[in-house]
Structure 1
């Protein structure tokens, strides 16, 4: 019985091989069925296995593999089927590069997506890769994209038997010309790369520039950095300027806490202990000032018009500085008025020792007209 089945199978195979189109169609169908089985069952089994792990990147990898694996198997079936059929060489010289191009495009898209997911996963935990963090992530994503696209384009053109030597030489000459013509743009580009790598500030930080602008960093691009001021005005600064200027990062350090300073003067003769107690009470009663570190009061100096005090406290964000200073100053003024503590202002006493005689005497006229005018 088994020998009969083998003989029958050989008979049908010999019949199929006598008809190349039928043979090619069966080859394509077989590869399509194999692709469907692998996509439906094998990858589904792998997906159940990866679901049991804590990592999420393997789940995304399996999800991304469905499309390229399925269509790659189908394209391989087309390549095998094309080899079965007796096709003129002029046609195969077009078909096979087209097949390779489709395969390269499928896996190029897969690599771009998977690289982006992998880089973002690494950026979330920069314990091992200190240079890759959320601020430098766009830089590495762009570099990976350029590398993958460059390699893919090279092999696609090579599959069409296009000589890349002349293209690379032309690209070098064009690059030199573009470098001279766009030196300012390139300066901004390289400064943007250094800013992303060095990370002197990050998005949502409050920075103060040497020229006086203060605002929240809303975007760090390859060409420029954007700040949003408290007046809701967006300021765009070229990265070459940001890389060569003094930048004060108010949100830098281990946390975003920011210390505000409220300065006030009291008249000479005031009770220093009472003033210190009142200012401390005002700072402690302000709900938006952190209780730790606790606010402090300092007697700074003897001013020209009064005694200079300073109230210092920590707040959650630098953006709240103006509003909280307004609340503290208002509370201090009301408390001083209530307790009769004087806030001095600039006073100047003018002493006139004597008047010139010419200014006190008026010249007499013969007709008395001057006296009449004076009256």
Structure 2
């Protein structure tokens, strides 16, 4: 049987790989012209040349690191935060790593290894440099996100609650980019790896569809911001509590009974949520229905309700408490007392105090709160008793 011809990579991909190889592995082309005569003289003594190259690389790298740190530090003194100092420390280490690793590649050339051995050692050195730069980039991205979050001129979507997700997204992008160049460095075609990763991604998507649903719902919750950490929310299923954690997979609520509820983000994304801490401010209005009998002086009843609200120190003074007549009931005139509280978590406590105070003041003023009652009348009862 005839053998199938071996598949060859496209010409464009081959040329790209060759360009990458020539760029990263031909270190001698990086040397200045005036260094070539000294290099050729010392190349007769490889060990001496290696020591000279490494020593020169260390001194040169340290010098560049010192110059950058000195200049950048003098400029950063104009700022009041400490983020720029941390960023300078990270970048200065990267400068030292880049320069010293380049000189290490020169040291490999000084040994005059065979071509394949020399390329292998240089690839290892460049791979270590890429890993070092990737770690530095990961630290720098996290630091920059924190700086943007704490800055007064921060982007609206960079907040304390969104930092974990943005940090993970930036890390994935950086790892993917460095991995791509690392594959090119070793002379491999990354398109095949990307295709394999796509197939694996589809398989993982089917296997972990619930987890991915929670993951995407978590991103949408962060982007849409229906609630944030510290808000009091009420779900359509009746749960009410304070948001203590907004993660990639789930949201956690702490109820007034000090019971923590963990709800998957896929459920939160499809639920009707009442955010009691939302709106222009965190203040919440309470409505307390109160009924008085038809014999009551309604002006007095209104004044009593206002006094009760004004005398409670947990009731907000602005907006001011209000009383509104709502309905002529079957046995009472129905009012509603409107008051504002500063925080939703004190809702139950304020309701308790206001109801007790209203009851006491109505009793003191002789105001009747009607309630449902029935009188039983038996016809001709007195006649039957007499007989």
TM-score, normalized by the shorter chain, greater than 0.5: yes
- Asked if 1:260 corresponds to 2:286, the answer is yes
Aligned-pair CA distance for 1:226: 1.5
Give the equivalent residue in structure 1 for 2:307: 281
SS where residue 270 of structure 2 aligns? coil
SS where residue 48 of structure 1 aligns? helix
Please give the per-residue CA displacement for 1:284-330, whole angstroms capped at 9, x wherever unaligned.
Answer: 11111111111111222233343322221111111111111112122
1:304, 1:27 → 2: CA distance? 101
Describe the shift of the 1:193–1:99 C-alpha distance in structure 2 as closer, same or farther (beyond 3 A): same
Give the equivalent residue in structure 2 for 1:340: 366
Give the equivalent residue in structure 2 for 1:304: 330
Describe the shift of the 1:323–1:161 C-alpha distance in structure 2 as closer, same or farther (beyond 3 A): same
Q: After the TM superposition, which of the residue ranges 121-130 and 206-215 deviates more from structure 2?
A: 121-130
SS where residue 112 of structure 2 aligns? coil
**Aligned pairs, how many?**
346
- Structure ID, larger Rg: 1
Give the equivalent residue in structure 2 for 1:242: 268
- Asked if 1:272 corresponds to 2:333, the answer is no
- Asked if 1:44 corresponds to 2:70, the answer is yes
Q: After the TM superposition, which of the residue ranges 202-211 and 136-145 deviates more from structure 2?
A: 136-145
Match among 159, 162, 168 for residue 142 of structure 1:
168
Residue pair 2:326, 2:336 contacting (<8 A) in 1 also: yes
Aligned-pair CA distance for 1:15: 6.6
Match among 211, 233, 239 for residue 259 of structure 2:
233
- Asked if 1:109 corresponds to 2:135, the answer is yes
Q: After the TM superposition, which of the residue ranges 187-196 and 58-67 deviates more from structure 2?
A: 58-67
Aligned-pair CA distance for 1:197: 0.8
Please give the per-residue CA displacement for 1:251-301, whole angstroms capped at 9, x wherever unaligned.
Answer: 111111111222222233112111111110111111111111111112222
Residue pair 2:282, 2:344 contacting (<8 A) in 1 also: yes
1:288-327 superposed matches below 5 A = 288-327=314-353
1:1-375 superposed matches below 5 A = 16-53=42-79, 57-124=83-150, 129-352=155-378
Describe the shift of the 1:103–1:344 C-alpha distance in structure 2 as closer, same or farther (beyond 3 A): same
Residue pair 1:279, 1:332 contacting (<8 A) in 2 also: yes
1:82, 1:353 → 2: CA distance? 120
What TM-score results when the alignment is normalised by the length of structure 1? 0.84
Residue pair 1:126, 1:132 contacting (<8 A) in 2 also: no
Give the equivalent residue in structure 2 for 1:4: none
Describe the shift of the 1:276–1:177 C-alpha distance in structure 2 as closer, same or farther (beyond 3 A): same
SS where residue 248 of structure 1 aligns? strand
SS where residue 261 of structure 1 aligns? strand
2:347, 2:281 → 1: CA distance? 16
Aligned-pair CA distance for 1:178: 2.2
Aligned-pair CA distance for 1:56: 5.6
Q: After the TM superposition, which of the residue ranges 119-128 and 30-39 deviates more from structure 2?
A: 119-128
Any stretches of 5+ residues in structure 2 without a counterpart?
Answer: 1-36, 382-387
Residue pair 2:54, 2:107 contacting (<8 A) in 1 also: yes
1:60, 1:36 → 2: CA distance? 18
Describe the shift of the 1:148–1:13 C-alpha distance in structure 2 as closer, same or farther (beyond 3 A): closer
Aligned-pair CA distance for 1:250: 0.8
RMSD: 2.6
Q: After the TM superposition, which of the residue ranges 124-133 and 254-263 deviates more from structure 2?
A: 124-133
Aligned-pair CA distance for 1:41: 4.2
2:230, 2:155 → 1: CA distance? 23
Please give the per-residue CA displacement for 1:151-172, whole angstroms capped at 9, x wherever unaligned.
Answer: 1122223323344333222222
SS where residue 104 of structure 1 aligns? helix
What TM-score results when the alignment is normalised by the length of structure 2? 0.81
Residue pair 1:188, 1:240 contacting (<8 A) in 2 also: yes
Aligned-pair CA distance for 1:100: 1.0
SS where residue 288 of structure 1 aligns? coil
Aligned-pair CA distance for 1:185: 2.3
Residue pair 1:305, 1:347 contacting (<8 A) in 2 also: no
SS where residue 211 of structure 1 aligns? coil
2:379, 2:248 → 1: CA distance? 70
